[in-house]
Amino acid sequence: MKHKSNTLREFKNITFNEDDVTNFGYEIPKQIKIVKKNCFINNHSFKEITIPPSVLSIHRSCLWVCKQLRSLKIPQQDYIIFSNHLFFNFHNLCSLELPNSIVKINNKKIPSIQNNQIFNIPTTVTSLNNYCFSECSSLLSIQIPSSVILIGNSAFKKCYFLQVIQLPIDILTLPKSCFALCTSLQTIILPNSLKCLRDKCFVNCYSLHSITIPNSVSQIGSHCFEGCRSLSSVILSTSLSSISSNCFSFCSSLRSITLHTSILSIETYSFKNCYSLTTVQINSPLCSIDPTSFEGCINLHEI
């Protein structure tokens, strides 16, 4: 049967979806422009995948719970859109290549990489959004490039084996729970650009042994260093006006602390159960101290 017309047709925005995986397999054809929502979700059989350069958009939850996936490569190209919740629960992933064109890493976008110990963020990235590296439980080291100007809440929460992190020099705020429960983090250098540490920023960082808060910092949120039981050395900013509630509670290795003349108040339970604390030097004559500030500091006999 002859066609009525020999006109060549051009197909745009060709998609690849969950049914295509079932019917044609895991290899994405080179003409595909869009990888659809849930395309490979809960697929436990394939071990590697390469996204072809033709792809311009990868939709939500595309690769969730692909537990056997070991290698993922996303092409280097000028423009590509990633949706939220793209990756999740990759227990065996040991190789991940992201394109240099990416400018934002969104919520839960980086998989929970169990075997990947070092991760390099592309230098084009300007923001790391909420939870983006949360629960990357075997991550040992990460360098955040100077291009990053925004880090979201809980960005590195529960990175249990993270030991080394390098912050960008122009970052202004470390957000809520940013490094919470990074239990292997021993030290971190805070840049002089920093203005604020939000609530629970370093809560339960059990291995953190020292911290110097630069003089640029004017605010430290509540519970910021709570439970940092190895923390023995703290140098505070001269710009702080208060020590917030539970800021250093349960820092059981802290022996002494000097509060600068800028400090006007020490809030509830600020140093609760700092069992080793023996010396507190308060240089501000106008400092207001809440009665519970040093509750449980059994070795502190004089302020």
In tens digits, what is the pLDDT along the chain, a chain of 303 residues?
A: 344 445 544 445 789 988 888 888 888 888 888 888 888 887 777 788 888 888 888 877 777 767 777 777 776 665 566 655 555 556 566 666 666 666 556 555 565 555 556 677 778 888 888 888 888 777 788 888 899 999 999 999 999 989 988 899 999 999 999 999 999 999 899 999 999 999 999 999 999 999 999 999 999 999 999 999 999 999 999 999 999 999 999 999 999 999 999 999 999 999 999 999 999 999 988 789 999 999 999 999 877
Phi and psi at residue 19, in whole multiples of 5°? Answer: -65, -35
Q: What is the tally of helices (H) and strands (E) in the chain?
A: 1, 25
From the list 203, 265, 214, the residue with the least C-alpha distance to 237 is 214
- Return d(Cα 281, Cα 98) in angstroms, integer: 50
Please count the other Cβ atoms lying within 10 Å of the Cβ belonging to residue 150.
Answer: 15
Amino acid 102: pLDDT = 65
For residue 219, what are the β-bridge partners? Answer: 196
Q: Based on C-alpha coordinates, what's the Rg of the chain? A: 25
Cross-strand partners of 158: none
- Give residue 2's pLDDT: 44
Q: Please, which residues have CB within 8 angstroms of residue 182's CB and are 6 or more apart in sequence?
A: 156, 157, 158, 159, 160, 162, 202, 205
CB 80 within 8 A of CB 55: yes
Does residue 299 contact residue 278 with C-beta atoms inside 8 Å? Answer: yes
CATH fold label, 188-303: 3.80.10
pLDDT in the model for residue 55: 84
Which pLDDT does position 276 carry in this prediction?
97
The per-residue pLDDT for 193 is: 95
Q: How far apart are CA 161 and CA 136, in angstroms?
A: 9
Q: How far is CA 198 from the centre of its chain?
A: 14
Q: For residues 204 and 227, what is the distance between their CA atoms, to the nearest angstrom?
A: 4
Give the pLDDT score at 3.
Answer: 44
Q: What pLDDT, on a 0 to 100 scale, did the predictor assign at position 131?
A: 85
d(CA 165, CA 182): 11
60 is written with which tokens?
A: 């939500």
Asked whether the CA dihedral 107, 224, 228, 145 is positive or negative, the reply is positive
Strands, sheet with 164-166, edge to edge from the N-terminal-most edge strand = 118-120, 141-143, 164-166
The pLDDT value given to residue 114: 53
CA dist 192 and 171 (Å) reads 9
Counting every residue, how long is the chain? 303
Phi and psi at residue 257, to the nearest 5°? -150, 140
Residue in 178, 263, 187 with CA at minimum distance from that of residue 223: 178
Joined together, the tokens standing for residue 96 give 């991940």
pLDDT at 127: 87
CB-based burial label for 285 (10 Å; 0-12, 13-18, 19+): exposed
CB atoms near residue 5 (< 10 Å): 7
Residue 162: closest CA among 147, 146, 144: 144
Q: Give 190's contacts (C-beta < 8 A, 6+ positions apart).
A: 167, 174, 211, 212, 213, 214, 217
